[in-house]
Chain A
């Protein structure tokens, strides 16, 4: 327990000190990471704790973002809503829309619930381009951050601290929520609704409440996004965002409180870091998600937390060598897979296809080398490396976890 508190305090201190050491681009990426972390935590309140898997959470994020942009334009930073308090608007609108949508969606449970949330989000997405006054059509709506309370909010760093403050506040609130009786009942929704009903609780009301709270914090995340980029476009209501929050949360692990936040922060950091290098980032994200679903059902953070809890970090020579082998095998498979995908991406791209003249296929440029498109080495090398990696992986995981009989 004490170690946890110390670790958390260190993490918060690192977050507070970070802008002093980061370039402007990285500060911007950190803002995105913080927003993604909050959004994922809000989402996992619903899917991890209450067991209701929503496929349309971008709707509440988007509503929060648009509400904030309109509030920025309406109040102009004056009156009751100076810039630092604007996320309240996003949270409020998220809450309201969450109550309305949640009332419908929580009428059913399980897969029906998932489909209804998806359909509601698509309803909004289909409607948004036609409601030009609210969603601004193709161009979207933009606004300006006004100075308030002695801050200009002109620089990245001030926005970072504003975002950090709100994200930490919301995470603390979300954590405190799990400690309240309602928070315990939320877990009951996941485990056994029949029993809750039997005990005299109104399950539908409770589900709507959880849905609304989750939508509220998603709205705050949307508001922070709107504050950060000073604009909102109906693209934010797209399925892409709903999908990525599902993927990120489960990659992190929804059963641990900070799992989704860490997963989302990590994934959006990688998304930022590799966006210049590859166009296939979403593919890697999807593959990682499927692998996590198949082999680490508790997610990355969840798996680590479980191993720490069970004290399974014994450092015998045997385990260390097996772990090392596992790491090498994993690295080999990843390298092989990434090379194969990148080669295929280059080979099938329209840029490359336009260079083909008649029957002469020019070599494909990748990693500063030229690869002949029809040579065995070009395709055999990455696939071979991947095959060797996968073989080693299966061997190493059997040695690491004999009782599991080799999960991979």
Chain B
């Protein structure tokens, strides 16, 4: 029971982190029609910059400054790279961000080496918040969850209640009309791109210290984020939220399950046959945890091709 509770908590918080990254991606897609392949690279960049700054500025300040730098990088990417290839079409924009993600990964390897770096929590933050049964629950996980939730409270409030939010939403909904009414839509695009990048950077700066910070983290998370937006429906914030939490909880639960398909078949008396067949049937669910998001995605595609909250395309 305690294990279940811990697994669900961990999964929820991981899901919130996923949401921090996928929210920016889905917003940018909804607005510009650009799938930003480099979005997860901003996440990685956030972690590495925070790691580099943590030695100089201290952990807390590094976590604040790093997203700002990543946001600036995002603005540069939008202004000087994406805008230039815009006239060649969306496929070109996707390819350009793909190339940029490749370059960012190689630059990270160049400066920090092709191995995990020692980016970790300050001792002051690594204590346990409470005990569930026999396990200590680290307070830092709660902080990550709280920051993610707070961030979304702020962004949601900004988008729904302020004048800037109205302009942004109108630029997403009908960019031409918003432009005709005298709003500077390219500036809005650049701003949203920068904020999305900064959010991914913040997620990276927070999560990098808790999980590992290595040159592969962008790809590992990036693939999951793509799965999230496909399941949730591209361009939908609610969809991204539900799908992130779903994937976070399901993978976190799956890691704790020791059974295999053979055990399941054993219930109806086919256990020995399954064990004799071997292969995928005897793999434990825990070792399949990494593949479950993809299986979920295929399932959603079969049942509801536009995603849980997506419009019909």
Contact = CB atoms under 8 A, between A and B. Distances in A.
A289 B102 CA distance: 10
B223 A286 contact: no
A297 interface: yes
Contacts of A110: 90
A49 B81 CA distance: 26
A65 to B, nearest CB: 19
Interface in B277-313: 278-280, 283, 287-288, 290-291, 293-295, 297-298, 301-302, 305, 313
Interface string A118-145: 1110110011001101100000000000
B103 A286 contact: yes
Contacts of B111: 344, 348
B287 A112 contact: no
A119 B106 contact: no
A293 B99 contact: yes
Nearest to A52: B91
Contact of A294 (B90, B96, B106, B305): B96
Interface stretch (A71-79, A242-250, A362-370): A242-250
Given A51-B91, A123-B291, A130-B287, A286 B102 contact: yes
Interface stretch (B129-137, B224-232, B236-244): B224-232
B99 A247 contact: yes
A320 interface: no
Interface string A96-130: 00000000100110111011101110110011001
Interface secondary structure of B, over-half rule: helix
B3 interface: no
A341 B110 contact: yes
B88 A297 contact: yes
A115 B110 contact: no
B94 A119 contact: no
A290 B298 CA distance: 32
A294 B81 contact: yes
A55 B110 contact: no
B226 A115 contact: yes
Contact of A53 (B85, B94, B280): B94
B158 interface: no
B28 to A, nearest CB: 12
Contact of B92 (A114, A119, A287, A297): A297
A179 interface: no
A118 to B, nearest CB: 6
A194 to B, nearest CB: 12
Interface in B216-271: 219, 223, 226-227, 229-230, 234
B84 interface: yes
Contacts of B227: 115, 119
A123 B291 CA distance: 5
A297 B85 contact: yes
A282 B223 contact: no
B219 A55 contact: no
B113 interface: yes
B126 to A, nearest CB: 27
Contacts of A202: none
Given A55-B98, A115-B229, A119-B230, A293 B279 contact: no
A133 B278 contact: yes
Contact of B279 (A53, A134, A250): A134
A290 B106 contact: no
Contacts of A51: 91
22 contacts: A108-B305, A111-B90, A111-B94, A115-B226, A116-B297, A118-B223, A119-B230, A120-B294, A122-B294, A123-B295, A131-B279, A282-B102, A282-B106, A286-B102, A286-B106, A290-B99, A293-B92, A293-B99, A294-B81, A294-B85, A345-B110, A350-B113
Interface of A: 51, 53, 55, 104, 107-108, 110-112, 114-116, 118-120, 122-123, 126-127, 130-131, 133-134, 239, 243, 246-247, 250, 280, 282-283, 285-287, 289-290, 293-294, 297, 341, 344-345, 348-350
